[in-house]
Chain A
Amino acid sequence: MSTPRLDRDDEVEQLPPDIALKARALLKSMVRPHLGMAIFLAVIVVLTALAMVIGPVFIAAALDDGVPRAVDGDKGPLIGAIAAFIASAVASAILAFTSTRLVGITAQKILFTLRARVFAHVQRLDLGYHEKSTSGRLVSRQTSDMESVQQFLSYSLFETALALLQMVFIAVTLVVLDVPLAIVVFVGFIPLFFITKAAHSTQRNAYRRTRTSIAKVIVHFVETMGGIRAVQAYRRQPDRRGTLRRQDSQYRDANTDALRGVAWFAGWTRLVGNVTQTVIIVVGAWLVIEGWTQVGVLAAFILYLRRFYGPLDELVQAFNLYQSASAALEKIAAVLDTDPEVVPPSQPTHLPIREQGAGRSVDLTHVRFSYGDGEDVLPRFDLRIPAGQIVALVGATGAGKSTLVKLVTRFYDPSEGRITIDEVDLRDLDDAELRANVVMVTQESFLFAGTIADNIRIGNPDADDEAVVAAATAVGLDAYIRNLPNGYDTDVKKRGGRLSSGQRQLVSFARVFLADPAVVVLDEATAHLDIPSERLVQNALATVLEGRTAIIIAHRLSTVEIADRVLVMDAGRIIEDGTPNELISGTGRFAQLHRAWKDSLV
């Protein structure tokens, strides 16, 4: 039963070393399906950058040439320049309109796919993974980390491309204008390169810390709100507050460091830009004075230089959003990179057709099970359950009953040996077919947001209303539901839809009736029911599931009453096996247990 948690400590340590590569690969794989759109957007980027660079040229033309000529009476060049300028403004506006739209749409498409992919993958991961990791952490992967990626994709990807391209265009313009001055500008790139390189590693670390620490905060938040009854009843509020403060302080520090990293990066970048500008003025002035360069060229140069460094701020911003998104993508990639240990077959086999309402045989052959390389939870054993048999599993807590049924339902695969239903290995069955045939109900009875009818329909989403009502009636829930404000359409979280834990368990059973499986596994599924409800459910099970195979774990005598066969487990072994009557009349463990049960009856 017990496996140590893997992710209790600092997660950063545990991300695989090549996770940055994997995150990048993930980003690429997300963008690839939108390659056509990406190319189209790239064209728009080029045009936008052109329109931005060219606009001032017309203004310059209007001022340098148009105005003096217009003063002299020739309005043509001025009107032409202004018309061209307005045209470029219209073009800019249309391009901005198009690009904002398309970027928004594409980014959302990418995010939608990513969200769906992570969601589906988390669902695919085996139960072992889920039992080892905290729900809050997986929630933070799909919410907070996703938000980080969204920030980057919707606000920065396009801007980054635009800023870079604008800089390229202006760089070309600078070279065309004056080579020596352009060289001065390019020399300024050397410190920029080192600044960026340094920022890359510090920021990556800072953002990784923010992602890890916010995940811890989310875990704590989810745990506290989920256990609010115990928090309040045991006056844990000050303690919980203290833990939040501690974890949030780590997040605050990480966040502050990340933001201060941006401060240094942005400050240095701006300083290099401004110093370069001063040097240009001095060198330019010297060149002009020495007669090697025209005044007009220098003026244009300085104007463009200002615009050249303008996008640099945006790049700094984008760079940081990128770093933050990468840190988040790494976490997401790590989830996607985890392979489920219980994998669907590449070439699924089908089960033989069964008669309506028939059961299937379950065979465990040479099965051994341990978690990882740990001690055997179930030492090697064989078990054959013929179709239609009802088997009660009995034994103390920790005897291995739950583990055994988790193998039969393929929540885990055995470490050794094979488990078959109707001679087909569970590992060769497609998940949908397996689940249609083998269904397990546990003590936990979860209600999803939505109506009661929807919740019962988990058993079979295609069931019509009649079938839903029939299932609810079978478990004795119908009368209660009909009394609710909106009957079967009552929202389980709103207006009077509260169900007690016993009623929630009845909903679980109603699901089984709808699912109509060949093999039913009940793990303590009646624990919260009062005795009449339990009898009702069992009667219903016996009639509705007549002929099905069933494995039932329960601590109550009443369960054994309906069994054809009892298996007594101890320390992972089946120590007694027989019909209830055989075992009761014997002197073994079950006979003792049975006596205790009898005493407990009324």
Chain B
Amino acid sequence: MRPLLRFWPDLRSRIGVYAFVLVLTLLANGIQLVVPMITGYIIDGPIAERDFSALWWPVLGVLAIGIVEAVGMWARRMIVAPVVSTWEITWRARLFDRLQYTSVAIHDSWESGQLLSRATNDLSQLRRFFAFGLPFLASTPIVILVGTIMLTSLQPVFGLIMIVMAVPTIVSVSIFEKKYRDASRRSQDTIGEITTEVEESIQSIRILKSFGRSPWAAARFGLVSTKFQDLEVRKAKLDSWFWSVLIFLPTLAQAAIVAIGTWGVVAGWTTVGTVVAGVTISMVLRMPIEMLGFLLADALMSLTAAARYWEVIDIRRDITDADGRFVDDPDVGKYRGELVFDDVDFHFSDTERETLSGLDLRIEPGQTMAIVGATGSGKTTLASLVPRLQDVTGGVVRIDGVDIRNLPVNELRHLVSVSFEDPILFSTSVAENVEMGAPGSDDEAIWQALEIAAAKDFVSHLPEGLDTQVGEQGLSLSGGQRQRLALARAVIGKPRILVLDDPLSAVDVDTEDRVQLALREILPDSTTLIIAHRPSTAALADVVAVLDGGRIAAQGTHEELLLSSPLYRELMGASAVASAAEEPGRAGSAVEGSGRTASASASATTNRVEVIREAGDGGSRDLSMTEAHTRDGGDE
């Protein structure tokens, strides 16, 4: 019951209205008990006595009750409609907000469909429950109780029959409750799985199509869909047992009332009229008892829905301001932009394996540092620590000497601008997507940012220029175009600290060079951390750090590292180039070449650039491939 009880504060805030709804529900139920009595009176009284004039009052009474009942029904639904509809969206807003402030690591551990199904299916189940299920669940037992009391006052034995019947009813309720609750939990979790499958199948459509794996995806979907079907059928089967018990027991009670009542008439302790009245009341009671089955099932599904809702709301708040809260728009102070990683460790919460361990790194204000490392070496993790998308598990990240965990999160995120390897655009205009980096920027600033990102040309050719809608609901742009818009967003407003995670992997080298130069010229004061795969990017940085084994393995200028770090040479593809430089035009293999790295690079110190240019001319086709170049297909 606890998950449902936790909605009490919401209920209490509208308690007046909700109480009125309860009263109206009770009234509607109660009227069903009263009307048969009045009609009975009319038939036995005025009509039997053929007294037409005595008919008017009771008839007006029936009419009045009829109108009250209809108006009550109308009013109950009218009143409850906006209340529950508002609750549904309020709960969704809370769920949404909880997730908005939940760290990326926790997001990654949830299947996306589980979040969506909670925000939609489960909340509409709860809306239905609070609109209909709960008021009836609250009033139905009262009606049954009042009916039983009426029966008892009419004839204690009849009341006793009802109570005897209550025993097997309660037993079956408790059996049903346990089994149904389990089935309902699993079924609603499976809806989450279905949602995940659906989302994945649509988001991965290109991959499924290019491998022709739609049938495979359909088979996978079929499995969850079958699981869901089985669970729902199981619920229906449980329903069928419970339902038939709830139909059977009250009728058995009625039969008992007739049988025992008749025996009482014969024995003289009751009258025929009493038996008739008893049967009438028990007839009226059948409806609420039968409904109990539906209400109970509904309540159990709502209980599951509520539990699933609270599981999300209860997600631990792990990345917050120092005081545990989260201020959306804190004041932003002045910083020089010195960024220091001090003995930083990082491991994901569900594993002991450290992605970063004992990492030290210092970037001076205004400096540009390139981070280079092999695939999977933790570069992206390192970048995500700066805006606190993840938190260090050991050590400290400091800006101007201040532990970033002591800054309000959004002050930090104001200071730090990030561009991700997967560019994320929102469904709005180009201008708004870029302006997000520095809200309040004018068009001039936007164009300047676009220019830095080498996006000015293509944006000015878009159908509606800056106002063109992009993102999933807008124009579809190429990967390179999206990356450049995301980059423009990162650089607008001249951020104090700029974190660029391989921001231009999908654009050509020429464009990348232009961007690099523009960054240096226009943003000389921004401290920049750039993750690089290409030598040209690294060459333009003030300092390069090589990430390996979770720590900085080497650091220096591009030229220094080429001399001192074999790993760096390998990462920059330089070993092969250097070896080829030794024997230009030689059709040697990369493997062979790498063995000569040290001597080659040592000899290439003075006029490195020439050597490499030479290598690029003569050797490039021969360099990295061992066999491909021997084919002659290209010359047909």
Contact = CB atoms under 8 A, between A and B. Distances in A.
A27 interface: no
A598 B616 contact: yes
A266 B24 CA distance: 14
13 contacts: A56-B283, A223-B472, A228-B104, A229-B104, A233-B416, A237-B100, A244-B96, A274-B69, A389-B633, A493-B109, A500-B375, A515-B211, A532-B570
Contact of A555 (B71, B506, B634): B506
Interface stretch (B141-149, B158-166, B220-228): B220-228
Given A119-B218, A278-B62, A459-B211, A139 B198 contact: yes
Given A498-B348, A503-B376, A226 B112 contact: yes
Interface string A452-482: 0000001101000000000000000000100
Q: In the complex, which of the residues B93, B241, B633 has the most CB atoms of chain A within 10 Å of its own CB atom?
A: B633
Contacts of B220: 448
A70 interface: yes
A575 to B, nearest CB: 16
B119 interface: yes
Interface in B198-251: 198-218, 220-222, 225-226, 229, 232-233, 235-237, 239-241, 243-245, 247-248, 251
A414 interface: no
Nearest to B576: A535
A434 interface: yes
B69 A123 contact: no
Nearest to A296: B43
A506 B462 CA distance: 34
Given A104-B235, A233-B413, A561-B620, A143 B116 contact: yes
B131 A259 contact: yes
B232 A485 contact: no
Contacts of B521: none
A266 B71 CA distance: 10
A461 B206 CA distance: 17
B478 A147 contact: no
B426 A93 contact: no
Nearest to A260: B81
Nearest to B461: A398
Contacts of B374: 530, 532-533
Contacts of A249: 89
Interface string A560-585: 01111100000000000011110010
Contacts of B506: 397, 443, 524, 527, 555
A411 interface: yes
A397 B471 CA distance: 18
Contacts of B208: 123
B243 A108 contact: no
A431 B240 contact: no
Nearest to A515: B211
A601 B577 contact: yes
Q: In the complex, which of the residues A227, A448, A546 has the most CB atoms of chain B within 10 Å of its own CB atom?
A: A448
B93 A260 contact: no
B81 A256 contact: yes
A183 to B, nearest CB: 19
Given A271-B66, A524-B506, A598-B617, A143 B198 contact: yes
B296 to A, nearest CB: 14
Nearest to A396: B508
Contacts of A531: 533-534, 571-573
B453 to A, nearest CB: 12
A477 to B, nearest CB: 9
Contacts of A223: 426-427, 471-473
Given A138-B202, A270-B70, A443-B506, A434 B212 contact: yes
B157 interface: no
A240 B436 CA distance: 12
Interface size band for A: 35 or more
A448 B55 contact: no
A219 B239 contact: no
5 A-B pairs closest in CB distance:
A104-B236, A435-B212, A274-B66, A564-B634, A267-B74
A404 to B, nearest CB: 13
B350 A496 contact: yes
Contacts of B75: 263
B247 A248 contact: no
B74 A386 contact: no
Interface in A86-112: 86, 88-90, 92-94, 96-98, 100-101, 103-105, 107-109, 111-112
Contact of A397 (B76, B424, B507, B534): B507
Given A120-B218, A236-B426, A602 B375 contact: no
B584 interface: no
A186 interface: no
Nearest to B36: A306
Given A86-B252, A530-B571, A542-B625, A96 B206 contact: no
A140 B218 CA distance: 18
B536 interface: yes
Contacts of A237: 97, 100-101, 328
A278 B121 CA distance: 43
A154 B458 contact: no
A59 B258 contact: yes
B389 interface: yes
Interface stretch (B44-52, B393-401, B442-450): B44-52
B276 interface: yes
Contacts of A139: 116, 195, 198-199, 202
Interface string A314-330: 00000000000000000
A76 to B, nearest CB: 12
Contact of A529 (B210, B222, B272, B533): B533
B370 to A, nearest CB: 13
Interface stretch (A2-10, A38-46, A348-356): A2-10
Nearest to B486: A230
Given A298-B47, A502-B375, 18 more contacts: A96-B240, A100-B236, A134-B473, A135-B199, A138-B198, A226-B424, A244-B92, A263-B76, A263-B78, A271-B66, A442-B206, A449-B196, A458-B211, A485-B351, A498-B108, A528-B502, A542-B627, A581-B621
Interface stretch (A172-180, A279-287, A416-424): A279-287
**Is the contact region of chain B dominated by helix, strand, or loop, or is it mixed?**
helix
Interface stretch (A14-22, A29-37, A60-68, A162-170): A60-68
A593 B120 contact: no
B221 to A, nearest CB: 5
Interface string A431-450: 11011100111111110110
Contacts of B93: 241, 244-245, 248
Interface in A348-392: 386, 388-390
Nearest to B476: A131
Nearest to B242: A100
A90 B248 contact: yes
B229 A112 contact: yes
Interface string B83-105: 01110110011001101110010
B592 interface: no
B513 A600 contact: yes
B573 A281 contact: no
B43 A299 contact: yes
A205 interface: no
Interface stretch (B1-9, B167-175, B259-267): B259-267
B116 A71 contact: no
B275 interface: yes
A143 B121 contact: yes
Nearest to A136: B472
A415 interface: no
Given A289-B52, A561-B624, A601 B212 contact: no
A498 B573 CA distance: 27
A443 B479 contact: yes
B617 A555 contact: no
A55 interface: yes
Contacts of A278: 59, 62-63, 66
Given A222-B199, A500-B376, A92 B233 contact: no
